[in-house]
A and B are shown apart, each in its own frame.
Chain A
Amino acid sequence: MSEVKESYEILVCGSTFLGLGMAFSGKDNVLLVERSSSVGAEFIDSLQPGSSWNEIEASSAVLELKKELTERNILSHNGKVHLPAIAAVLYERIKNKRLNVLLMTEIINIEKKENYFEVTLFNSSGMKKVKAKKIIDTTSRCISMFKLNNKFEGKNLNAYIHSNYEKGLPHHIGVKFIEGRFDNEVIMCFPLELEDTWVTARQKLHNFWVNRSEGLKYWHMDSVASEFDVVIRSTNIKLEDNWHWIASKSFKNPLAAYQYGNETFAYNYTASNYKGGI
């Protein structure tokens, strides 16, 4: 990450697939701000591959990403995906394209000025103010506006499980299982209440697992997701003029979110199409 400039065309909240799609398309005009160190966490870290990976009418940028995922054996021809490896692909691409990505950075305040926003950031360098003409919040929680209520319709804490004795997917009422790219790569989607915190979520998941039913007896838990798998309805909410919330997780899969971000930027902000809004 080179030095932070004084002003940007767009400040993107969240290094989500949608946010990264915008950043890859907008490059120097975009500052992407993420409070964690993760990329694409809404799908990758939540262990939620989404669906319909092969049903996207993709743009060339997305086709190229999809091709790389296939060549690296991350995505199969029948749409099964090895999620954790996508993070490595994204980090490499961010590095090579020298995107303006500020990780481990909080958004402390956003103040509307006459024709721009003054955004106060905080990270290990301390506070810093940057100007942005537009703000696109791509996070599931809409972190740029605290007061906005979550729009979640469901919430899971997922985990990788595997069995050395059983093939295919296990069965358990109320719990969904998803096949990953490789044999023995199974995601268990453990349902939570919307109000569950990390503390209660982990309590519920581990209690469930330790006391699991016969159907799961021969399965072992490998790892637990580090992000909640939230179900979120389609969002494209105008928070203010030039300040929008479009949650990446509301798309059916990472590529769809990436494509939307990539194309939205390309369409709205190229000189010939620029209409001053999203």
Chain B
Amino acid sequence: MIFSTSIDKNIRKEEIGEKKFIENYDIIVVGLGTAGAIAAIASGRNNLKVLAIEKLNCMGGTGTAGAVTGYYFGSKGGIYESIDEEVVKLERMGYTTFNGVNPDIKKYILEENVVKSGVKISYEATIIGVFLEGNTVKGIKYISREGIKEVGSKVVIDCSGEAEVCFLAGCEIKYGRSLDKKKQTYSSVKVYYDEAEDKLRHYYDDVGYVDQVDGNDLSRGIIEGNSVHLEDSFNGNKRLLYIAPLIGIREGRFIVAEKNITLEGALNREYEETALFYAYSNLDNHSKDYAFEDEEQSDWIVAGSLWGLNISVAVPLESMLPKGYEGIIAAGRCIGVDHSIALSVRMKRCMQKCGEAAAEAAALAIKKSTSIRKVDYEELRKRLEKTKCYDENNRRPLEMPIPAKNEVVKFDWLTTAEDIKTGMESDMPGAAIWSAYRAGENFKNDLIVWLRASNENLSKHSAFALALLKDEAGIAILRKILEEGDSYFPKTSRKYNQGRGYVAIYLIGKLRDIESIPKLIEIMKYPSKAIKKEYNYDEYIANIQELEFQYFSHALMALIRIGDTHINYRFKIAEAIKEITNKEDFNPIITLKGPKQYIYSMKQTIESIIDNKFNKWSI
């Protein structure tokens, strides 16, 4: 037997000889958060011997201890719906109404359901290592109030959120965006009693970035994040009840799974043949530095302004199975997804369903005495259909919800030149730009013809589609957009639409256009000069500095991309970037998402990106 643990962030495996566990379980659920609590219930209902361990002293995770009580999209169906119904029913019996699913009651109802299903709960318990035979997980070691324990299992369901068990077992892990491994912003949540409304409410702001798999930085993040709730003078009108003991982390480790869900795969409707449930949301990236994002995400959010478009994502069993490992399945936001599609898959409704699906798969494997990867898909799907965890109706088209109008506009990719042309001419060109891009060579000739069109939108958006196709035919138009300081913003998405001026910069970078180098340097130096028209400031761009940051950051990345391809220009580009970023007063800022729109300096992020890049360039 091998014992595997983590020492100073490194996995250390040790051969420990033969080992027999005193306590053995069919299933051990590690982490009783959003996915884990439901996984425990579903496991127990299969009449299996189940141990469920949790770091905190309650279950439910983000929706309870984290006090994020509302739901943001996701798809309906599954065990969690009946749990939420029980919560609503109990709330009427003497509890102050919560604006969302009451977290204290949900802790209790989840727990009651877990207890009723015969599961043994161990709270305040932290996993510290994993036992393996070869690549098969055989048990775990954890510390609890009773001391250190070692227990065996047929299957471990890793619902830790951070793929803690998979990581400790030595499974391959991915983390953050490719440029600098940074993830989304995190938030700190408080709960208060609103006297005027006689209601309980949760309130959150995004408060910065945290690297939660670094113990020191996690502590810093919690302390800094929770300190934002300090007020000059507290009062009873909006009486604070508590600061949530769990900070709002949106993204962490992802397992490298047997099958990994990608944005491209999801858009192509892959994975549907073996779907266990459907996730559903937009690419809800809370960050503002899309210039530094993975290219396929920038194509979608920046070039297409498609931030608000909801995607239905089929989640197959294989995306929950760490590649090459047996006896373990992951559920929750750490499953095998890429950094971009994770933004859509992570919503609470779907993560609860993920826990249910993992538990049913594990239970079926145990009952059939087989590997989880060998369970019969049809049989598994039928089990999940009973609770509507799997529901064919959740296979939705692309949709653009418009909450202000209480409308949902259905999106379909456009398939005729006429439709694409009309779309490009409109103020909502995103679908048309992306349709032309998806179609590959099919509409390229049309796009080239439209470059000369008198309709400004048609001409410029055709250049966008061509650039996405990495075709330089529209480069002159992209350069012109920079020269004239085009300040147009489309209306494709309900929010987070992207300005044509800096979209052109992004696409120039994508095309590695050497001729634009001087202009890009100029924009980096004087981003304010690139902005010709005042912007109607909103949640996405809250002030002029933030708008300037968009121009600045896209120009920086365009230069870096050009330098990546054209080695001879690296020195010139690096010198220019250094001159700008070495200035004493260099401090580009963004605002963080949330009502208070905290100001956040991007200096460190940019310096880190530049340092890494120049190292790679040997400059």
Contact = CB atoms under 8 A, between A and B. Distances in A.
A246 interface: no
Given A71-B233, A125-B216, 6 more contacts: A84-B241, A88-B229, A101-B223, A104-B215, A126-B7, A209-B94
Contact of B95 (A182, A198, A221): A221
Given A1-B216, A88-B243, A222-B200, A127 B128 contact: yes
A1 B40 CA distance: 35
B220 A1 contact: yes
Contact of A160 (B128, B215, B241): B241
Contacts of B468: none
Contact of B235 (A35, A182, A227): A182
A3 B219 CA distance: 11
A123 interface: yes
Among B9, B195, B219, B243, the most chain A Cβ lie within 10 Å of the Cβ of: B219
A122 B147 CA distance: 14
Nearest to A209: B94
B216 A126 contact: no
B229 A226 contact: no
B522 to A, nearest CB: 40
A84 B224 contact: no
B93 A210 contact: yes
B489 to A, nearest CB: 37
B242 A84 contact: yes
Contact of A141 (B145, B193, B229, B241): B145
B193 A162 contact: yes
A94 interface: yes
B343 to A, nearest CB: 22
Contacts, number: 194
Interface stretch (A21-29, A50-58, A199-207, A265-273): A199-207
B148 interface: yes
Given A91-B227, A146-B146, A221-B96, A84 B236 contact: no
A270 B173 CA distance: 47
A223 interface: yes
A235 interface: no
Contacts of A1: 216-217, 219-220, 223
The 7 closest A-B pairs by CB, nearest first: A126-B6, A182-B236, A123-B215, A125-B215, A91-B227, A88-B230, A1-B219
Given A72-B232, A125-B9, A182-B235, A199 B223 contact: no
6 contacts: A36-B56, A92-B227, A124-B162, A127-B5, A185-B236, A206-B105
Nearest to B128: A122
Contact of A224 (B104, B128, B193, B216): B104
A61 to B, nearest CB: 19
Interface string A85-100: 1011101101100000
B227 A219 contact: no
A70 to B, nearest CB: 11
B222 A104 contact: yes
B114 to A, nearest CB: 9
Interface in A101-131: 101-106, 108, 121-128
Interface string A176-200: 0000011111000000000001110
A91 B242 CA distance: 13
A130 to B, nearest CB: 12
